Copies of this chain bind each other. A is one copy, B any other.
Amino acid sequence: MLRPRCRRPRNLLERSWRILLLELRSQNWIKKLGQRNERWRAAQRYGTRQDFSHNGSFHEAVGAVLVMAQCFCVMPVRGILASTPDGLSFSWHSWRTWYCVGYMCTTVLDTIFTINQVVHGKLDVRNMEPIIFHVSILLASVQFLHLARKWPKLMHQWACVEQGLPKFENWQQREHLARKIHRVTFVLMMLSLTEHLLSIVSAIHFANYCPARKDPIESYFYSSGSQIFFIFPYSAWLAWLGKAQNVLLTFGWSFMDIFVMIIGIGLSELLARHTICLKSHAERDMSEAFWTSTRTQYRLIVELIIEVDEAVSGLIMLSFANNLYFICLQLLKSINKMPSMAHAVYFYFSLSFLLIRSLAVLLYVSAVNERANEPLGLLRLVPAATYNEEVARFGNELAGEEVALSGLRFFSVTRKLVLTVAGTIVTYELVLIQFHEDEKEWHCGTD
């Protein structure tokens, strides 16, 4: 592997301070709290321009998103708001990790309850839905935990690659990545929230329609946590716990897609910056040394993409399989008559949201492949006079490799995948419809 030389801003002082910290960690909780308090106070002082200006790094851009993720028990890595990736670390002894592992335990319990409930009902491709939902989120949590351990090293490599790229020219460029990531996250979280609220509204309506309990709210809780009350008698605190778990699961389900998108955005941004630099020089009379450095830079980015792919391709696989399954299922349900207007609104909003989110994931992730192919077109514009061995080598390397994120390397995520997936959905749908009986759905007593 190319070993990028990159300035690690660690002087002696810092290093010794770190050693001190490590020694003290296990003993003095109070000191730690004090430090946190200080940091909190520091955050309370008036912001200077420096505070709000971005340095344009991916680490910084993704920080806020990861904070949100940690609130919902995923990605237990420390130092996500640190100024450099060197501040990142993972430890099994952190409260974040404990929090996350605790969540995974309750998810396992919930999954067992769900399987228990489903197995006692009629087995069917549609009744499998809650099991698939639970199991895929459980797997995603495991993947995120695994990723958290690799995250510090990955972000460090990412930062090194960023340092090798040409400098930003103004603050708009610096802000660009962070704004894009925040915008995408915000929009998707809002849509996800709306969908969840609509699901509650329609479920309460449904609870009125065929009440399991007298009180409508109680009835709603009863139906939303039906896998729990299949075993235990109804109790308010169990209902609240079930609801909380349900919210966490729903977030995890959405976050899987959001995270994959963000990774796609980050990597294609790197490639775009590299391409812009190449674009402005391709037709000029550049030296062989320029081409060597350009090629090496590109190689560093590709190495990073391979590393990132190794870390997140499990999540990509999970996200794609999940979306494929739920789209097929929802389309299948779409033939049913809706029992009420509330259901219809919820259903079509939910379906559209699912389709748009899946398409967005595909397009953002495949953008990495699109961006990675752009330099090849530019190399073809290099004038004959300045064409040299290095340009030829760069061209050959580009033509002979496929740079793309993948799903466990079983498939590469390229733009042409969209059509394959669409064709698969249509085929499965046409065949699945034949098993469909209209009467089955939306009756009292079924999910």
Contact = CB atoms under 8 A, between A and B. Distances in A.
A237 interface: no
Interface in A373-411: 376-377, 380-381, 384, 387, 389-390, 392-393, 395-397, 399-401, 409-411
Interface stretch (A37-45, A99-107, A185-193, A415-423): A415-423
Interface string A255-288: 0000000000000000000000000000100001
Contacts of A295: 384
A330 to B, nearest CB: 16
Contacts of A380: 299, 397, 401
A358 to B, nearest CB: 14
A433 B435 contact: yes
B428 A418 contact: no
B410 A419 contact: yes
Contact of A381 (B2, B306, B384): B2
A294 B327 CA distance: 50
Contact of A426 (B426, B428, B430): B428
A396 B382 CA distance: 14
A299 B384 CA distance: 13
Nearest to A292: B384
A424 interface: yes
A427 interface: yes
Contacts of A11: none
This protein's copies in its complex: 4
Contact of A431 (B392, B415, B431): B431
A434 interface: yes
A33 interface: no
A164 B208 CA distance: 75
Contacts of A370: 409
A419 B299 CA distance: 29
A19 interface: no
A283 B2 contact: yes
Interface in A337-391: 370, 376-377, 380-381, 384, 387, 389-390
A1 B299 contact: no
Contacts of A389: 387
A432 interface: yes
B399 A410 contact: no
- From DSSP, what is the main secondary structure of chain A's interface residues? helix
A392 B393 contact: yes
Nearest to A429: B431
Given A399-B396, A431-B430, A424 B423 contact: yes
Nearest to A382: B393
Interface in A290-337: 292, 295, 299, 306, 335
A400 B399 contact: yes
A295 B379 CA distance: 13
Contact of A384 (B2, B390, B411): B390
B396 A395 contact: yes
Contacts of A401: 376, 380, 399
A381 B303 CA distance: 10
Contacts of A377: 306
Contact of A396 (B390, B396, B431, B432): B396
Contact of A411 (B306, B395, B396, B416): B416
Given A381-B299, A393-B387, A411 B400 contact: no
A123 B177 CA distance: 45
A415 B381 CA distance: 28
Nearest to A2: B381
A380 B292 CA distance: 12
Among A292, A335, A380, A423, max chain B CB count under 10 A is at A380
Given A306-B377, A395-B397, A395-B400, 13 more contacts: A2-B283, A2-B381, A123-B335, A295-B384, A299-B380, A384-B393, A387-B393, A392-B393, A395-B396, A399-B399, A409-B415, A411-B416, A427-B427
25 contacts: A1-B381, A2-B283, A2-B381, A295-B384, A306-B377, A380-B397, A387-B389, A392-B393, A392-B396, A395-B396, A395-B397, A396-B399, A399-B400, A399-B401, A400-B400, A410-B416, A410-B418, A410-B419, A411-B419, A423-B424, A427-B431, A428-B430, A430-B432, A433-B435, A434-B435
